[in-house]
Amino acid sequence: MGIGHAHALYLHGHSRIHRLAPPTKVVAAFIFVVAVAVTPREAIWGFGVDAGALLGIAAVGRIPPRFVAARLPVILPFITFAFLIPFIASGEQVEILGVSVSQEGLWATWNIVAKATLGAMTSIILVATTEVPDILKGMSTLRVPAVFISIAAFMMRYLELVVDELNRMRMAMAARGYDPRWLWQVKPIATSSGALFVRSYERGERVHAAMLSRGFTGTMPTIDDAAPAPNDWAVALALPALGIAVAVAAMVGT
């Protein structure tokens, strides 16, 4: 359920995409995903255009398709559920390879698979070309409260540290022969989780002390970055504009 090492998701580069101001990319990604989500599923051509646009951006950003594909499996759990739908759904049945499946169900599966894949691709390419701290700061353009963003930033800063600590605890237990298979053997895992919570909380208190020591009074100081160049907005918004055009055309067409 998620990968701990966010830096592995970023591919260093100096492409036009990399150099776009992060807020423009975050907004563009968000609007594009919304456009994809409202695109009628029957417009298969539309999803093809969307996918092509994303791959085009990946190419400009020098992100190999293999890089994107390698990170797509995160959507597998729900896709698996989606593939079950035609077998359990009601409605008019069709025969596929001798098996009777729901036609509506097939469309539903396509709907989920297409949109999930495009949504995931968008996120993967965004993160590949934009460093996580910049993405988080860019969220303020989407009117996400500053406190929320600060909390997220702290979480990302310390995530790998906490994951490392948890790994060390697990290794220490394994070194003492702990190899649980059943729920009733779970106590050491739970106890170490409790201990990890305490350690994390105490570190939070120490960080707070460090913040106070450097003059913190409750609000994070805003270190304002320059507003993105209008040119950046124009370039970034091309993608969602295309997505919206596709969605509208598809809706009008059906």
Partner 1 sequence: MHAPDGFLNAGTAVATGAVSVGTVGMALRQGRHRLSDRQIPLAGMTAAFVFAAQMFNFPVAAGTTGHLLGGALAAILLGPHIGAVVVTVVVVVQALIFADGGITALGYNVINMAIVPAYGGYGLFVLFRRVMPRSSGGVVGATGLAAWASVVLAAMAFSIEWLFGATAPVSFAQVFGAMVGVHLLIGIGEGVLSGLAVAAVLASRPDLVYGARDLDRSEIANRRPAGMRVFAIGAFASALFFAAIVSQFAVDNPDGLERVAEDTGFASSGAEHALGGSIFADYATAGIGNETASLAVAGVAGTLIVLAVGWGVFAAVRDRRSDAMRA
Partner 2 sequence: MTARAVEVAGVRYAYPDGKQALNGIDLSVDAGERVAILGPNGAGKTTLALHLNGLYRVTEGSISIGGLTIDDATLREVRRRVGLVFQDANDQLFMPTIREDVAFGPANMGLTAREIEARVAQALASVDAADLIGRVPHHLSGGEKRKAALATVLAMQPDLLVLDEPTSGLDPATRRELIELLTTIDVTQLIVTHDLPLAYDLCPRSVIMDGGRIVAAGPTRELLADAALLARHRLEMPFPPPDATLPPSSGTSPTGEAGDRVDGER
Residues 107-146 within binding reach of partner 2 (CB under 8 A):
132-133, 136
Q: Does 198 bind partner 2 (CB under 8 A)?
A: no
Stretch that binds partner 2, among 82-90, 104-112, 201-209, 244-252 (CB under 8 A): 201-209
CB closer to partner 2, 67 vs 158: 158
Please state the closest distance from residue 230 (CB atom) to partner 1, in A.
25
Write out the binding residues for partner 2, residues 211-240 only, by CB under 8 A. Answer: 211-217, 221-224
Which of partner 1, partner 2, none is residue 189 near (CB under 5 to 8 Å by kind)? Answer: partner 1
Residues 48, 241, 108: CA angle, nearest 5 degrees? 40
Please state the closest distance from residue 187 (CB atom) to partner 2, in A.
24
CA distance 134 to 250: 34
> Which residues touch 35 (CB under 8 Å, ≥6 apart)?
240, 243, 244, 246, 247
CB closer to partner 1, 115 vs 228: 115
Which of partner 1, partner 2, none is residue 173 near (CB under 5 to 8 Å by kind)? Answer: none
Which of partner 1, partner 2, none is residue 214 near (CB under 5 to 8 Å by kind)? Answer: partner 2
Print burial letters for 91-116: b (CB count within 10 Å at least 16), e (below 16).
eeeeeeeeeebbebbbbbbbbbbbbb
CA distance 26 to 236: 9
Please state the closest distance from residue 106 (CB atom) to partner 2, in A.
45
CB closer to partner 2, 60 vs 153: 153
CA 174 to chain CA centroid, Å, is 32
Which of partner 1, partner 2, none is residue 4 near (CB under 5 to 8 Å by kind)? Answer: partner 1
CB closer to partner 2, 100 vs 167: 167
Contact 123, 36 (CB under 8 A): no
CA distance 38 to 3: 29
CB closer to partner 2, 76 vs 209: 209
Which of partner 1, partner 2, none is residue 13 near (CB under 5 to 8 Å by kind)? Answer: none
Q: Tell me which of 199, 237, 238, 248 binds partner 2, using CB under 8 A.
A: 199
Please state the closest distance from residue 37 (CB atom) to partner 2, in A.
30
* Amino acid in the structure at residue 34: V
| Interface with partner 2 (CB under 8 A) | 7, 132-133, 136, 153-154, 156-158, 160-161, 164-165, 168, 199, 203, 206-207, 209-217, 221-224
